[in-house]
């Protein structure tokens, strides 16, 4: 967040492109956020209990988790397509008057 | 927001900061819609593919979220404009 | 987060006040956070369903959203006043022993 | 936390970092109370103004959140102090 | 987030170890996150209502909050032990194919 | 993700960034498990110590969360590998 713009100017001679690092870093954050939300969502669907009587994932939970990952990923693709379809308009129109 | 107190170099920098934040916000909105629509629509874990019922639900859910966000954005911008006007009086 | 303090020292000759950028950036984050929470809250009040049968906002939802924005904003003002009333004490007393 | 391992320049820098974080925490607490009290108290969308019932609820809700946070802060500080003492023994 | 690595190279002559600041900063974030989650969790257990009829914490709420802080802290210790027990394996195995 | 487009200095820097993020993720997972297991398991506030029933519940809950995260991680890595392969064809 800090070295954008001004940052590239103050880059050391070691020839690091902070632009590039920045982009990779944002990508990493996005994947991590996606992953964390998938963990929570699939826990709610497959593992959540009102009381935990043991610490193992039983067979049913394991199968549920595996399918949940696949399904979550499909939802991500589908929503991505929807957003892309109207993305330009949406993004251009944002900024809510700032 | 008003960035008129900034010099040109600062405004240029600020533009970059804003662009970056808009990108992050956009990605956050994206993963939020995925999470919310998945939670509401997906309840059948007998297969890993979306059932056609789930598919319909997710599509509509995403569509509605986008329209909802857009509408809130418009209203919010109006409100901010009103508040800025009120301040200048 | 990074250029505070030390950052101002290493500012390039282009005369950028990082202090100022920093403050504007925090303000932006605050408005964005507020906006995102309003989107979620108003969705819960006006749009949330157990199953989505179509992708349009119907008339009732539209009206509800418009009022929700107004109401959310009023709550924000009211809470702001409350906090301000005891703000100084609260903020001074924080830091929970760090 | 213990910053005694830092030199003066580092402590000065750290003070700025802490001040910034406190500001951010404060703003986060603010928007969190707004969100929570709105969700609990506002359920009538036949008008955009707060009803007097909602108004009362929001005021009390915010008041309680502030007192609650404060109390937790005090207890938490005591706990940290105890733990630090225990470590030094 | 910005001055890691590259940052230490561009550190001003004032001899600030950004490594050290960074670590202290992460520690601060962790404690703050922990604190904020405790506030929310204990509010849900002790104070949450469907309608707020007054702004005071009554005796029962006060006692509940005090115990809640103790209990939350115990849970944190217990979970910490569990994680540590399998921590190494878990952490080494992460990165989910990035 | 593919960092092969980076030079050596950039990759070294990126490694540090990743290490830092993994640390942060780890801490976030930790506080998330605490929050979730506390919410599910602790409902008795007649004392500040964990009852033996709560203790059992928290231990099992944490154990399950860890195994759950690990399993999702494995599946997710497989999915990513598949998608990368599909892209290269």
**What's the complex ipTM?**
0.87
> C18 vs chain D: nearest CA distance in angstroms?
13
The conformation of residue C58, written as its DSSP 8-state character, comes to P
Q: What is the pLDDT of residue E34?
A: 95
Rounded Cα distance between F55 and B22, Å, is 44
Number of H helices, E strands in chain E: 3, 0
Q: Given a contact as 3+ CB pairs under 8 Å, which chains touch F?
A: A, E
The answer to whether residue A15 neighbours chain F at the CB level (below 8 Å) is: yes
Q: What is the pLDDT of residue F7?
A: 85
Q: Please name the fold of domain B8-88.
A: Helix Hairpins (1.10.287)
Cα-flanking dihedrals φ and ψ of residue D88, to 5°?
-80, -15
| String of DSSP letters for B23-75 | HHHHHHHHHHHHHHHHHHH----SSSSPPHHHHHHHHHHHHHHHHHHHHHHHH
Inter-residue contact A98 to C28 (CB < 8 Å): yes
Give chain C's domain count: 1
Checking if the pLDDT of A93 tops 60, the result is no
Using an 8 Å CB-CB cutoff, list residues of chain D that contact chain E: 1, 3, 5-7, 9-10, 13-14, 17-18, 21, 25, 28-29, 32, 36-37, 40-41, 56-65, 67-69, 71-73, 75-76, 79
Task: Provide mean pLDDT across the span D68-80.
Answer: 96
Give the domain CATH number at C42: 1.10.287.810
> A4 vs chain E: nearest CA distance in angstroms?
10
Q: What is the pLDDT of residue E14?
A: 60
Rounded Cα distance between D57 and C45, Å, is 17
> C40 vs chain E: nearest CA distance in angstroms?
18
* Residue C17 CA to its chain's centroid (Å): 24
DSSP helix/strand/coil, B82? helix
Considering the domain boundaries, does residue E80 fall inside one?
A: yes
**Residue A20, C-beta contacts closer than 8 angstroms, at least 6 positions apart:** F5, F6, F10
**Angle, helix A59-92 to helix B52-88, in steps of 10 degrees:** 40
> B88 vs chain C: nearest CA distance in angstroms?
19
Q: Mapped to the 3 state alphabet, what secondary structure does chain F carry?
A: CCCCCCCHHHHHHHHHHHHHHHHHHHHHHHHHHHHHHHHHHCCCCCCCCCCHHHHHHHHHHHHHHHHHHHHHHHHHHHHHHHHHHHHHC
Q: Do chains F and C touch (3 or more CB pairs under 8 A)?
A: no
The conformation of residue C44, written as its DSSP 8-state character, comes to I
| pLDDT tens figures, C4-47 | 333 334 344 467 788 888 889 999 999 999 999 999 999 999 99
**Angle, helix D52-88 to helix D8-41, in steps of 10 degrees:** 140
Which residue segment(s) compose the domain that E76 sits in?
Answer: 6-92
Nearest by CB to D26, from C45, C91, C98: name it: C91
Task: Provide mean pLDDT across the span A1-15.
Answer: 41
Calculate the alpha carbon distances from B42 to A67, B13, B37, B59 in Å.
11, 43, 8, 12
CA nearest to B20, candidates C68, C42, F9, A3: A3
CA nearest to B28, candidates F84, E63, A37, C61: A37
CB count in 10 Å sphere of residue B28: 15
Nearest CA in chain A to C22: A2
Rounded Cα distance between C53 and C64, Å, is 19
Residue D33 to residue C68, Cβ atoms within 8 A: no
| pLDDT tens figures, E23-69 | 899 999 999 999 999 999 999 999 999 999 999 999 999 999 999 99
Q: What is the pLDDT of residue A18?
A: 81
Q: Considering only CB atoms, which chain A residues are within 8 Å of E10?
A: 10, 12
Checking if the pLDDT of D86 tops 70, the result is yes
Among the residue ranges A81-90, B22-31, C46-55, the one predicted with the least confidence is: A81-90
Checking if the pLDDT of C88 tops 60, the result is no
CB count in 10 Å sphere of residue B70: 16
Rounded Cα distance between A36 and A72, Å, is 12
> E1 vs chain C: nearest CA distance in angstroms?
7
Q: Do chains C and B touch (3 or more CB pairs under 8 A)?
A: yes
Task: Provide mean pLDDT across the span F58-83.
Answer: 96
Chain A interface disruption, residue of C4, C12, C37, most A CBs within 10 A: C12
Residue E2 to residue C6, Cβ atoms within 8 A: no
Inter-residue contact E33 to F31 (CB < 8 Å): yes
Domain boundaries, chain B: 8-88
The answer to whether residue C1 neighbours chain E at the CB level (below 8 Å) is: yes
Q: What is the pLDDT of residue E3?
A: 29
Dihedral angle computed from the Cα positions of residues E80, E85, E89 and E95, in that order, rounded to the nearest 10 degrees: -10
Considering the domain boundaries, does residue E1 fall inside one?
A: no
Token pair for residue C88? 């100084």
Which of F3 and C95 is assigned the larger pLDDT? Answer: F3
Q: What is the pLDDT of residue B7?
A: 85
């Amino acid at each position: 967040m800090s070295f954008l713009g001004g940052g590239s100017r103050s880059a050391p001679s070691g020839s690091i492109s902070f632009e590039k690092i920045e982009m990779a870093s944002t990508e990493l954050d996005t994947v991590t956020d996606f992953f964390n939300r998938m963990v929570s969502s699939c826990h709610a669907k497959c593992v959540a209990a009102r009381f935990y009587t043991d610490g193992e994932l039983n067979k049913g939970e394991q199968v549920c988790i595996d399918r949940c990952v696949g399904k979550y990923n499909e939802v991500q693709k589908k929503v991505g397509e929807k957003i892309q379809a109207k993305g330009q308009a949406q993004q251009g129109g944002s900024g809510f008057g700032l | 927001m008003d960035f008129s107190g900034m010099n040109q170099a600062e405004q240029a920098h600020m533009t970059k900061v804003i662009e970056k934040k808009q990108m992050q916000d956009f990605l956050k909105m994206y993963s939020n819609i995925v999470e919310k629509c998945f939670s509401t629509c997906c309840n059948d874990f007998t297969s890993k593919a979306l059932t056609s019922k789930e598919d319909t639900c997710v599509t509509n859910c995403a569509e509605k979220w986008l329209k909802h966000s857009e509408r809130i954005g418009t209203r919010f911008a109006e409100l901010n404009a009103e508040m800025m006007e009120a301040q200048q009086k």
